[in-house]
């Protein structure tokens, strides 16, 4: 079974939002209580509590302490599950030891089976904009209005999560379990594409197409910087500081949404044309070996790099197509034609010239050609000219409403 999440924006009254905030704080406290109980138990008896022990403990704590009774019982149980899973990850060597959580780190509640209900379905919007609106009742919290902008297989929902974002927005995430797609068997020669991710060109494809860093994204990044500066001038923890903090969180979410949207679309575009996607497998070791230039590149890309990869992969896997991560070491400095590594190439060189065979090509294109070669597919030897992918359908719409987009923004500087 594969898990798929459907996320919808949720709107609520101020009172309900405040109830949610209080409950998050309580859940956080419960989490920490469990953590301490587990630590004590371990010190005393050298024994780690099982999932059921922890669940029972959560329920008992809830029963004995009126403060915790504001939580729905299953939600309290799920807090225990969350701690159990964090601890399990630590035992398996996949994560750090669970630590005491601060309220701002605890931002979601999960209703595993019951305690939620959707009602009052209604059609809203016209034409292409047609969506459905529904009312969600979460036990012990209250009512939310959801805009259901895509089909939700309601019978298969296995859990519901309500999440408060740092910007103050609330989202509801439905988890749906669905059967795995069969991987396609590749009898006929597969169509392969290599994708190199970068900054100036967000993605360069081995067929010569590339995706430029879109303007709305650049401008958002610029705005992030401005707010960041404003925030640093505010008095720490003052009213204005919190205001800036929230504005910053909002801007970050905007950038994130933009990027997600863009890369989902790129994923769809690629998955339609190709059977196999070859990407750089970025591992820490590789990064260290690559030294300064790549580090700089990574810092700019930070965590979203992994996300972008995950999004592209998802679009391929969903269709039963293949994704090949290949070692990223030296992809941008290796000559596609003869395989020689051009050590003198710096980040400033936009064109790759091989000192050995004279192969001259755009640097990112060279990298995207090297990728499929490393995966065992040899793309056509002489690629077509670089040409931009025409703007993806809705990018024009995602900018801020009204004037903000039209204003002349200062040019984006990379670093």
User: Residues in the site for Zn ion, rule: CB under 5 A?
Assistant: 335, 337-338, 340, 354, 356-357, 359
Q: In the bound complex, what is the minimum distance in angstroms from residue 336's beta carbon to Zn ion?
A: 8
Q: In the bound complex, what is the minimum distance in angstroms from residue 329's beta carbon to Zn ion?
A: 17
Q: In the bound complex, what is the minimum distance in angstroms from residue 274's beta carbon to Zn ion?
A: 26
Radius of gyration (C-alpha) of the chain in whole angstroms: 25
- The structure tokens listed for 77 are 């149980």
Of 114 and 350, which CB lies nearer to Zn ion in the complex structure? Answer: 350
Of 188 and 344, which CB lies nearer to Zn ion in the complex structure? Answer: 344
Burial class (CB in 10 A: 0-12, 13-18, 19+), 100: exposed
Q: In the bound complex, what is the minimum distance in angstroms from residue 376's beta carbon to Zn ion?
A: 20
Per-residue burial over 343-376, b if 16 or more Cβ lie within 10 Å, else e, is eebeeeeeebbbeeeebebbbbbbbbbbbbbbbe
Of 68 and 336, which CB lies nearer to Zn ion in the complex structure? Answer: 336
- The structure tokens listed for 329 are 């070491």
Q: How far apart are CA 142 and CA 20, in angstroms?
A: 9
Of 23 and 206, which CB lies nearer to Zn ion in the complex structure? Answer: 206
Of 245 and 340, which CB lies nearer to Zn ion in the complex structure? Answer: 340
Of 338 and 404, which CB lies nearer to Zn ion in the complex structure? Answer: 338
Q: In the bound complex, what is the minimum distance in angstroms from residue 335's beta carbon to Zn ion?
A: 3
Q: How far apart are CA 52 and CA 56, in angstroms?
A: 6
Of 153 and 358, which CB lies nearer to Zn ion in the complex structure? Answer: 358
CA atoms in the 13 A half-sphere facing the CB of 153: 11
Q: How far apart are CA 292 and CA 249, in angstroms?
A: 29
Q: In the bound complex, what is the minimum distance in angstroms from residue 210's beta carbon to Zn ion?
A: 22
How many C-beta neighbours within 10 Å does residue 123 have? Answer: 9
Q: In the bound complex, what is the minimum distance in angstroms from residue 198's beta carbon to Zn ion?
A: 21
Of 85 and 356, which CB lies nearer to Zn ion in the complex structure? Answer: 356
Q: How far apart are CA 415 and CA 409, in angstroms?
A: 17
Nearest by Cα to 290 from 275, 280, 277: 280
Q: How far apart are CA 176 and CA 172, in angstroms?
A: 13
Nearest by Cα to 13 from 142, 146, 167, 174: 142
By the 8 A CB rule, do 75 and 58 touch?
no
Q: In the bound complex, what is the minimum distance in angstroms from residue 201's beta carbon to Zn ion?
A: 22
Of 263 and 359, which CB lies nearer to Zn ion in the complex structure? Answer: 359
Q: In the bound complex, what is the minimum distance in angstroms from residue 370's beta carbon to Zn ion?
A: 11
Q: Which residues contact 86 (CB under 8 A, 6 or more apart)?
A: 95, 98
Helix (H/G/I), strand (E/B), else coil: 10: strand
Q: What's phi and psi for 361, nearest 5 deg? A: -160, 160
Q: In the bound complex, what is the minimum distance in angstroms from residue 380's beta carbon to Zn ion?
A: 17
Q: What's phi and psi for 239, nearest 5 deg? A: -55, -45
Of 214 and 379, which CB lies nearer to Zn ion in the complex structure? Answer: 379
């Amino acid at each position: 079974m594969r898990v798929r999440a459907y996320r919808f924006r949720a709107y609520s009254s101020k009172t309900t939002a405040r109830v949610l905030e209080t409950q998050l704080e309580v859940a956080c406290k419960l989490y920490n209580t469990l953590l301490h109980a587990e630590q004590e138990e371990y010190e005393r008896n050298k024994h780690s509590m099982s999932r059921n022990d922890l669940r029972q403990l959560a329920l008992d704590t809830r029963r004995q302490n009126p403060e915790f009774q504001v939580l729905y019982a299953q939600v309290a149980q799920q807090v225990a599950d969350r701690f159990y899973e964090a601890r399990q990850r630590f035992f398996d060597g996949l994560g750090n030891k669970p630590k005491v959580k601060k309220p701002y780190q605890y931002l979601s509640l999960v209703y595993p089976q019951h305690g939620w209900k959707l009602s009052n379905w209604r059609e809203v919007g016209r034409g292409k904009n047609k969506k459905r609106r529904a009312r969600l009742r979460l036990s012990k919290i209250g009512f939310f209005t959801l805009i259901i902008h895509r089909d939700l297989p309601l019978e298969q929902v296995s859990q519901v999560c309500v999440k408060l974002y740092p910007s103050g927005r609330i989202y509801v995430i439905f988890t749906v379990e669905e059967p795995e797609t069969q991987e396609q068997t590749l009898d006929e020669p597969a169509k392969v594409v290599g994708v190199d991710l970068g900054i100036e060109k967000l993605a360069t494809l081995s067929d010569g197409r590339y995706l430029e860093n879109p303007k709305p994204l650049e401008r958002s990044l610029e705005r992030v910087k401005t707010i960041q500066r404003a925030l640093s001038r505010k008095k720490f923890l003052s009213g204005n500081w919190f205001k800036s903090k929230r504005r910053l969180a909002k801007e970050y979410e905007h950038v994130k949404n933009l990027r997600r949207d863009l890369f989902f679309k790129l994923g769809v575009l690629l998955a339609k044309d190709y059977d196999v996607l070859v990407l750089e497998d970025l591992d820490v070791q590789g990064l260290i070996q690559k030294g300064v230039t790549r580090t700089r590149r990574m810092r700019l890309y930070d965590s979203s790099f992994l996300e972008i990869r995950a999004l592209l992969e998802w679009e391929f896997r969903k269709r039963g197509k293949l994704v090949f991560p290949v070692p990223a070491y030296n992809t941008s400095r290796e000559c596609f034609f003869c395989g020689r590594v051009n050590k003198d190439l710096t980040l400033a060189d936009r064109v790759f010239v091989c000192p050995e065979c004279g192969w001259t090509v755009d640097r990112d294109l060279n990298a995207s050609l090297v990728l499929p070669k490393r995966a065992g597919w040899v793309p056509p030897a002489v690629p077509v000219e670089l040409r931009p992918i025409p703007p993806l359908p809705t990018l024009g719409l995602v900018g801020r409403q009204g004037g903000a987009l039209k204003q002349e923004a200062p040019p984006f500087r990379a670093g």
